[in-house]
Amino acid sequence: MFSHCKAVIFDCDGVLVDSEYLCHLGLSQALQAEGIAEPADGLFREFQGVELALIFSAVARRHGRTLPADFESRYRAVVAQLFEQELRPTPGIEKALQQLTLPYCVASNGPRAKMEHSLGLTGLRDYFGEHLYSAYEVDAWKPDPGLFLAASSGLGVEPSRCLVVEDSAVGLQAALAAGMSALHYCPEGRGHLEEVPVISQLADLPALLGLTDG
């Protein structure tokens, strides 16, 4: 299906590591400390993959509040603690990485320190070497295609030859805007965008790239 692709760009949260819900749980807990009730399930459904600053602004507007200046640092401390306790690699991802013979990288809306932490905790960090790309470093957050374009440039592969593996609608939109192929990782098998194929088991990725006989 994707045999024309010569590089793979992975999102981090929700694709490489099972962290997306934990991030929203951490936000819910940090907001609760401010007296703001926002259940984690609702935050996850509404803001999956969205730039953090936009999430903060939306929640603050909804409650007619201004979040404290140090709220982001407190939120990140809560999330880091949740990661230490509960973070796991996404099922099948390590098997897929071991079979990939193409260049690949991580491109995340999160800061580099968060990627380093989550990938380190789950034993995935060494697979990526220097190829970690953060929206904070290129000043472009999904659905802006700039992050993925920076990643393809770093890998030395044309955008049209890159496959992006994403779990969020904004990430898939960024991939398509960058002129890349996209694959929606969704264990439940229901995609966000009709035109984007779904993968429910990441261990199947090498076969979709024509790298195995599977």
Domain map (residue ranges) of the chain: 7-18+88-208, 20-86
Locate 133 and state its tokens.
């790309």
> Would the pLDDT of 197 be above 50?
yes
Q: How confident is the model over 156-171, as a mean pLDDT?
A: 96
Tokens of 176: 């398509």
Which tens digits make up the pLDDT trace of 108-122?
999 999 999 999 999
Measured distance CA(114)–CA(1) in Å, rounded: 32
3-state DSSP assignment of residue 182:
strand
Q: How confident is the model at residue 158 (pLDDT cuts 50, 70, 90)?
A: very high
Clarify whether 204 is annotated catalytic.
no
Tokens (6 digits) for 134: 């953060």
Q: What is the per-residue pLDDT for 155?
A: 98
pLDDT band at 214 (very low <50, low <70, confident <90, very high): very low
With beta carbons less than 8 A apart as the criterion, state whether 165 and 186 touch: no
First-residue to last-residue Cα distance in the chain: 12
pLDDT of residue 150: 98
Which structure tokens are listed for 7? 């590089």
The pLDDT tens digits of the residues spanning 128-150 come to 999 999 999 999 999 999 999 99
Pick the CATH number of 7-18+88-208 from 1.20.190.20, 2.40.40.20, 3.30.2130.10, 3.40.50.1000: 3.40.50.1000
| pTM score of the predicted model | 0.87
Length of the chain: 214
Task: Tell me yes or no: is domain 20-86 CATH 2.40.110.10.
Answer: no
Q: What is the mean pLDDT of residues 155-183?
A: 96
Mean pLDDT throughout 67-95? 95
Assess whether pLDDT exceeds 60 at residue 177: yes
CB neighbour list of residue 214: distance below 8 Å, 6 or more residues apart:
204, 206, 207
Q: Is the pLDDT of residue 213 over 60?
A: no
Angle between the N-to-C axes of helices 71-86 and 20-32, in degrees from 0 to 180, rounded to the nearest 10: 130
pLDDT tens figures, 12-34? 999 999 998 999 999 999 999 99
| CA pair distance 71, 31, nearest whole angstrom | 9
